[in-house]
Amino acid sequence: MKLNIITVGKPKLNYAKIGFEFYVKRLKHFYDTQIIPIPDNKANEKYLDKITNNIFLIALDVEGEIMSSRQLAKYLNKITLQQKEIYFIIGGPDGLPPSIINKANFKWSLSRLTFPHDMATLIVSESLFRAASINQNLPYHK
């Protein structure tokens, strides 16, 4: 199973970058994990449209579904049985273009709050690691 995390922009705050890299490294113990950073500019909407065709896409969207850690673990377990590759996409400061959100197979909201990009990347990586730990019955979630 391969997880791809597309980030529009990279974390700029040192603590977020360190945390994101820390959890991605730990996540790689469970899944083949790849980070795909896309520069944050308007010209990249066409590029995003192109790379998000014919993939299983989970878009981070404030209007998406909010899940607990256990619900995320259950959902991740379910889709990893059905898909060989999953793409998560985290928007930049302006969020994701509607064209990308509309292509998503699933819309995931971290909260009804809006988080800065740096915080969102950190929360996503930790949440995916936590879900993987739950699915492996590891004590991290406790």
17 confidence band (pLDDT: 50, 70, 90): very high
Instruction: Give me the CATH number covering residue 106.
Output: 3.40.1280.10
Express each pLDDT in 52-85 by its tens digit: 777 899 999 999 999 999 999 999 999 988 999 9
Angle at the Cα of 101 (from 100 to 103), degrees rounded to 5?
65
Express each pLDDT in 75-133 by its tens digit: 999 998 899 999 999 988 788 889 889 989 999 999 999 888 899 999 999 999 999 99
Q: How many domains does one find in the chain?
A: 1
pTM above 0.85, yes or no: yes
Determine the Cα–Cα distance for residues 4 and 84; give it in Å rounded to an integer: 11
Which residue segment(s) compose the domain that 57 sits in? Answer: 2-141
Angle at the Cα of 60 (from 56 to 61), degrees rounded to 5?
120
